Structure 1
């Protein structure tokens, strides 16, 4: 924590700190139960405590940390209820989004999705797990943009912190990237042919994968979860 991390001076400091800490927690670099010190984080980013405190509040709102007055802040365990509820809401939103996207998608947008899918394939071949994770998110965000509803993605992003932690833990064996890429390609085929039902069904299968994998992930990492 003591190693200084350089921030971009053109972007809000609190948002950058939030994104970096969220990334570290989601990708299992900071384990559940770990204590987070405002002082140590402020030293890491060479900033005052105020933006760190603001980042902590956003992390707490997303269920990633718990702030205990006079006792400190701690990374939370993964809540099964939060994961299940997040999956339910995400599926409802994204299945609706992909159906609208299938109505509206044009040739230029198809090309951009094809480029994303190609980059996913390259990330898999080079075993770049972090890159694949980011491209996966970019693929889903692009669908909201095609559907002309950025609010849909903003809503999903705000509720999927617990889901992302399970997603990352499952990438290497339970939900391998090759399988996820194949599911993305099925979604794309429905979009390209303007087939709302096919795109919606493919999205449902894709997002249901996390529900199927969570029990195995919890069994393998029981100390990371709470009931």
Structure 2
């Protein structure tokens, strides 16, 4: 089911398996309703079942799988309510952060964001959706790093898993990458001007867009969604 990867001995195996499975679900490589085999995955990664089981538990906490006793672990459908709830929490956290970041940001941080935007544009030109999503996440993570609050990104990353599935489905035509790049550019301009309110407004426009796009994509792929 999954391509073999070289596990890094300096990082917990369960976290590496979790990230691989998370990406596979978010990018639609593994579809809703698919049964994930603990035995098969442990064999593919050449590890014991324990780290795979731990990865499954973390995926369940993110809402990406459902663990049914005596039946197995299944990839969930996309919950519209969880997407809406996740968007609300994510925006509350990130808007608070970006207001501080707008005050504290320095030229080194700005250069990192400019480099990231250039990489987003390159990913769009190559039509590499997976890489674009990575750069999108990195853009937000850089902003959080400005205020030195790593726990914030860990929190956001966990609650946005269901949102990420919608983001991937909408990138081709509902919410194309070039639109997201323009939104990121507005955020960066506000940060460069050290304007907390403008930065928060630009971020709100960016993060709230999913509330419109989910309506469209849930109609296009009705069988992928619940509630």
Query: When the two structures are superposed, what TM-score results if normalisation uses the length of structure 1?
Result: 0.97
**In the alignment, is the contact (CA less than 8 A) between 1:33 and 1:76 conserved in 2?**
yes
Bigger Cα displacement from structure 2, 29-38 vs 122-131:
122-131
State yes or no: 1:34 paired with 2:27.
Answer: no
User: 1 CA distance for matches of 2:149 and 2:55?
Assistant: 26
- Residues 24/194 of structure 1: CA separation in 2 closer, same or farther (3 Å cut): same
**In the alignment, is the contact (CA less than 8 A) between 1:4 and 1:43 conserved in 2?**
no
1:87 alignment partner in structure 2 = 87
1:100 alignment partner in structure 2 = 100
Bigger Cα displacement from structure 2, 150-159 vs 19-28:
150-159
User: 2 CA distance for matches of 1:173 and 1:34?
Assistant: 26
Q: Return the offset for 1:131.
A: 1.1
Alignment of 1:70-85 (within 5 A): 70-85=70-85
2:5 alignment partner in structure 1 = 5
Q: What is the root-mean-square deviation of aligned Cα atoms in Å?
A: 1.0
Pairs aligned (count): 227
Bigger Cα displacement from structure 2, 145-154 vs 98-107:
145-154
2:134 alignment partner in structure 1 = 134
**CA offsets per residue over residues 122-147 of structure 1, 9 Å max, x none?**
11112121111100000001111112
Query: When the two structures are superposed, what TM-score results if normalisation uses the length of structure 2?
Result: 0.97
User: 1 CA distance for matches of 2:123 and 2:176?
Assistant: 12
2:64 alignment partner in structure 1 = 64
Question: Which consecutive aligned stretches of 4+ in structure 1 deviate over 4 angstroms post-superposition?
Answer: none
Bigger Cα displacement from structure 2, 182-191 vs 88-97:
88-97
Q: Return the offset for 1:25.
A: 0.2
User: 2 CA distance for matches of 1:182 and 1:147?
Assistant: 24
Look up the SS of the partner of 1:173 in the other structure.
Answer: coil
**In the alignment, is the contact (CA less than 8 A) between 1:2 and 1:40 conserved in 2?**
no
Look up the SS of the partner of 1:205 in the other structure.
Answer: helix
User: 2 CA distance for matches of 1:217 and 1:28?
Assistant: 14
Q: Return the offset for 1:192.
A: 0.3
User: 1 CA distance for matches of 2:34 and 2:110?
Assistant: 43
- Residues 166/2 of structure 1: CA separation in 2 closer, same or farther (3 Å cut): closer
User: 1 CA distance for matches of 2:224 and 2:184?
Assistant: 29
Q: Return the offset for 1:10.
A: 2.3
**CA offsets per residue over residues 78-135 of structure 1, 9 Å max, x none?**
1111001000001111111111100000111111111111111111112121111100
Bigger Cα displacement from structure 2, 151-160 vs 2-11:
2-11
Structure 2, unmatched stretches of 5+, are: none
